[in-house]
Amino acid sequence: MKITQTPLVILNFKTYLESTGEKALQLARALEQVAEETGVNMVAAPQGADLWRLSQEVKIPVLAQHIDPVDAGGHTGSMLIECAKEAGASGTLINHSEQRMQLADIDTVISKVTAADMISVVCTNNVETSAAAAALKPDFVAIEPPELIGSGIPVSQAEPEIVEGSVAAIKDINPNVRVLCGAGISTGDDMKAALELGSEGVLLASGIILASDPKQALLDLVSKI
């Protein structure tokens, strides 16, 4: 399932208990409902063990959180691109700040994802890494300064120059790469600001997952666009 329309909301389930197993399914259904009610594209990125179930139970795209730069064979504990695709994943996050990768490995995984006709979302932390990532031709680059992740302080307000600078650098290198904004995003004002800075959507996690009412938090998130 290709992602062609923006604005886009990707919810990274991480490894919270609130987004694990049965609760992962409830969260994915909330994303699906909000997508249907608002017309905003919603994407779930659950843990690997939940990929198959979610891909079968909801109609929104589902992404892996990580793919390893390995071929099939003796790589115990690794996440194989072929396995993720068979499990129903439409693509994957790459190089999240909690799962950093070497540049050569990022390139390898992007190539594998592209060959599998899946979606690549490369996470970066500043203008320079955003530009480097854009040269590798992913579908999306998501800008996330690690010090703001989970802080409740949105990058779109705390460090808008990183978003603006990254958008400019990415588009200069490869205008086909779409830019997402992450780190601290949780409210309608945050998402509105992110879009005004030139991004085409957001990558977020705890602000929605740990909310008392995740569906309402998602509705609030897209209420001002």
Residue 3 among known ligand-binding residues = no
Q: Is 149 annotated as a binding residue?
A: yes
22 is catalytic: no
| Residues whose CB falls within 8 Å of the CB of residue 86, separated by 6 or more in sequence, listed in order | none
Does 125 belong to an annotated binding site?
A: no
140 marked as part of a ligand binding site: no
Active-site choice (57, 66, 86, 144): 144
- On whether 205 is known to bind a ligand per the annotation, the reply is yes
Is residue 144 part of the annotated active site? The answer reads yes
Contact 35, 1 (CB under 8 A): no
Task: Confirm whether residue 201 is marked as ligand binding.
Answer: no
Q: Transcribe the chain into DSSP letters.
A: -----SSEEEEE-TT-GGGSTHHHHHHHHHHHHHHHHH--EEEEE--GGGHHHHHHH-SS-BEES---S--SSS-TT---HHHHHHTT--EEEES-TTS---HHHHHHHHHHHHHTT-EEEEEESSHHHHHHHHTT--SEEEE--GGGTTSS--HHHH-HHHHHHHHHHHHHH-TTSEEEEESS--SHHHHHHHHHTT-SEEEE-HHHHTSSSHHHHHHHHTTT-
Write down the catalytic residue from 32, 37, 96, 159. Answer: 96
Say whether 171 counts as a known binding-site residue. no
Q: Which residues are catalytic?
A: 96, 144
The annotated binding site is made up of 12-14, 149, 184, 205-206
